[in-house]
Amino acid sequence: MTDVTASPPVRRLTDWDLPRLESLAAEYETPLYVMDRDRVKENYVRFSSAFPDADVMYAAKAHTGTAVLEAVLEVDGTIECAAWGELQRSIDAGADPNELQYTAVNPPDRDLDYAAELGAENPGLTITIGAVDTLERLADRGYDGRIAIRINPGIGTGHHEKVATGADAKFGIPYERVPEVADRVREEFDLVGIHAHAGSGVLTDDLEDHCEAIERVGEMARRVGDDDLEFVDVGGGYGVPYREDEPPLDLEKTSDMVRDAVGELEAQLKLEPGRYIVADAGLILTEVNTIKEAPDTTVVGVDASLSTLIRPAMFGSYHPMLNVSAPDREPIEATVGGPVCTSADVFAHDRPIAELERGDVLAIGNAGSYGYELANQFHSQPRPAEIALEDGEARVVRRRETLEDVTRLEK
């Protein structure tokens, strides 16, 4: 296992090798995603060490890149998937299908066809259902295997209302209906677990609300008979500090509070961290191309855009930034935006950053989670390349798209 004794609980932009980052930008061009596989492993081991008796599954939707999935598997991690494509990518990366968990959310027929067939060939696969309809559709496909029930605890937590899934009717069986659904599952399938996910981006100050939802999960598990369950899955959502002055998640406190909240269980505890594992393992390098003095700010134009990283436009998310080329220059207040023709294509307003000049390389931090996953081709912009770092070596794990890639599916 990876030794994390010397690994900081959060990696700031200033902890990266800045001259190396500038050389990567020169060699591989920008915008460029950089993922540190060593950091992915450190984060997984640190988190799982805080829950030594639990099954810690990496939530693949945070970053499904093969290099990341392989890194998790290399430190004996398991993987939770939310779509059929994630199941297939995990298997391609070397995961045993019998150890995968598929959390179906309003799954299309294609997804259920794939999952049912995979489960028939690999009876250890677990399918988590959040609607009775999904049970009926699985039965129609001849599936009678392992089922976990996703609970809607009625309590949502996290950094934004769009990720507070625990209070969203889209996710999970309504709380008071769970016992009757559990009875039905036991008649037709193999009920192995109870599952819930309250939200995303949870830091230490959010733990009280987060654990209130977990407490309800533990109560329901005991109500339906946890001595007859294999596991109780309290989901993920554990965050990293995006702002420079925010402290990292206190894992010791988190572990104590989660265990106290879920209570005494015969079943094994499961958790599904995603963001915590990959967020600070990744960043974006982008080149400055335009400096414009405006009446109230200095506008800095870069070649990354909301098609590269959509989180600021989608969630109003804060991402740290650093002038990699000249971090010691006097700071100015800059508004940093990309080439997309919308006012939403802005990474920061009036952010103090060491003065930038055309040709400088700017790093955008904490981009490893839901960064490349949400990258798109808006404005017909090809998606960027992705570089993986490990033991000081760099390799291309995703080549830069070309315009031909953008248009190749058109007729």
Looking at every residue in the chain, the average pLDDT score rounds to: 93
Q: Is residue 10 part of a domain?
A: no
166, pLDDT greater than 50: no
CATH of the domain at 302: 2.40.37.10
Q: Is residue 383 part of a domain?
A: yes
Q: Percentage of the chain with pLDDT > 70? A: 95
- Indicate whether 235 and 211 sit together in one domain: yes
Q: For 110-125, what is the mean pLDDT?
A: 97
pLDDT tens, residue by residue, 338-381 = 999 999 999 999 999 999 999 999 999 999 999 999 999 999 99
Q: What is the pLDDT of residue 269?
A: 97
Beta-carbon neighbour count of residue 116 at 10 Å? 20
Q: How far is CA 107 from CA 104, 311, 404, in A?
A: 6, 24, 31
- Indicate whether 299 and 260 sit together in one domain: no
Q: Percentage of the chain with pLDDT > 90? A: 87
217, pLDDT greater than 70: yes
Could you list the residues known to form a binding site for substrate, using ranges: 275, 311, 370
- Indicate whether 172 and 237 sit together in one domain: yes
Model confidence band, residue 159 (pLDDT cutoffs 50, 70, 90): very low
Could you list the residues known to form a binding site, using ranges: 237, 272-275, 311, 370
- Indicate whether 249 and 311 sit together in one domain: no
298, pLDDT greater than 60: yes
168, pLDDT greater than 90: no
- Indicate whether 251 and 147 sit together in one domain: yes
Active-site residue among 341, 404, 410, 411? 341
Residues spanned by the domain of 293: 280-407
Task: Decide if 81 is catalytic.
Answer: no
pLDDT tens, residue by residue, 96-105 = 999 999 998 8
Could you list the residues known to form a binding site for pyridoxal 5'-phosphate, using ranges: 237, 272-275, 370
Per-residue burial over 266-285, b if 16 or more Cβ lie within 10 Å, else e, is: ebebbbbbbbbbbbbbbbbb
CATH of the domain at 239: 3.20.20.10
Q: How far apart are CA 86 and CA 80, in angstroms?
A: 9
Model confidence band, residue 48 (pLDDT cutoffs 50, 70, 90): very high
Q: Is residue 41 part of a domain?
A: no
pLDDT tens, residue by residue, 130-151 = 999 999 999 999 999 999 999 9
Q: What is the pLDDT of residue 345?
A: 97
State the chain's maximal CA–CA distance in angstroms. Answer: 69
Provide the number of structural domains found in the chain: 2
Q: Is residue 55 part of a domain?
A: no
Q: For 227-246, what is the mean pLDDT?
A: 94
